[in-house]
Amino acid sequence: MPKPSVLWIVLGASLLLWLAGCGPMRSPQPAAQATAAPLPEAGVLAIVDARARPAPLPGGTSAIYFTVLNGLDQPVQLVSAASPAARAVETHETVAEEGVMKMIPLPDGYPVPAGTALILQPGGKHIMLIDLVEPLTPGDTIELTVTFDSGQVFELNVPVLDPQLNRPTDAEGRAALGGPQEQPVTHDHASMQGEAPHEHAQMHGDNAALSPELAAALEALPVGAIHQLDEAIAQGSDWDADAARTTVDALITQLDAFSWPDDLRPSIEAIRTHAVELHDAIEAGDPARVGELAAALHHLLHALVP
């Protein structure tokens, strides 16, 4: 065979050097992972890249992310969101306070300056779905209504993405938490009336695959005490308001004392929100509201610690 020409040798060497400098070729990232937003189109307000996280149990929580592109010549405010998929839909944000990540509700919504993009994403601003009506699995679609202070309303069909694109929380966190992924756990409530909170946490999952710190933080949550409060109210039994208040305060303290992983923060946020509302309902002496919140909080805690 004839020897390759000098030109081909030079071109081949150049190609090798280019590949070495650029590193291995990578597949394009899915849209759900994108953090850079496209430029707004002049004169147009738009919502793009909408997606939701799975949640395998009713009564659990999920989150919706999307990007608002404000191509108008004036700022707008995203003031509310609504969906038939959940009994409560709130605008939230993840913030850091004294080194601890917390989820806080933003009841006034989010401002979007003129000519800019607002990105809702994990670890930042997001639409929180609380107390889901039905489980959410990859391939499902959620109806979402988003309203701006300008009066413009968007009716979205939001896809629920595969956990590999957006890691789920709630009971599907059994996978994230190192537990098995079989059918959802059912509970014999009558047999658990007298269990201690620590025993309750242990019997609902093997935390051996977790980091010691995360396992300890989960086991420190007073799940059993909240369970007993919910059962007592549901059965019409007497319950001690002072003891219930102490339990709820301990739960809030434990939630605030630990820096939770990103994939658990939406669940932690929902639990904390319900706990604060339950504390207020106990203080106000509103038994109907206490019963409603105790049941919801019990559900959320079981989803986190199945």
Residues 6-39: pLDDT tens digits? 444 444 444 444 333 333 333 333 333 445 678 8
Label the pairing between strands 45-52 and 61-70.
Answer: antiparallel
Are 57 and 134 within one domain?
A: yes
Beta bridge partners, 224, equal none
179 occurs within a structural domain = yes
Residues 39 and 144 in one domain: yes
Statement to judge: residues 116 and 73 lie in one domain: yes
36 and 147 fall within a common domain = yes
164 assigned to some structural domain: no
CATH number at residue 239: 1.20.120
Give phi and psi for 299, each to the nearest 5: -60, -50
Q: Is residue 19, in this structure, part of any structural domain at all?
A: no
Residues 149 and 241 in one domain: no
Whether residues 222 and 97 fall in one domain: no
208 and 140 assigned to the same domain: no
What pTM was computed for the model? 0.49
Structural domain includes residue 35: yes
Query: Which helix (H) or strand (E) element contains residue 292?
Result: helix 287-304
Residues 232 and 267 in one domain: yes
Residue 21 lies in a domain: no
Mean predicted lDDT score pLDDT of the chain:
74
Whether 178 is in a domain gets the answer yes
Per-residue confidence band for 98, with pLDDT thresholds at 50, 70 and 90: low
Query: Please, which pLDDT band fits residue 143 given cuts at 50, 70 and 90?
Result: very high
64 and 102 together in one domain = yes
Range of the domain at 125: 31-159
Quote the number of domains for the chain: 2
Residue 56, both tokens:
């395998």
SS3 category, 271: helix
- Per-residue pLDDT tens over the stretch 184-205: 323 333 333 333 333 333 333 3
pLDDT at 82: 97
119 and 220 together in one domain: no
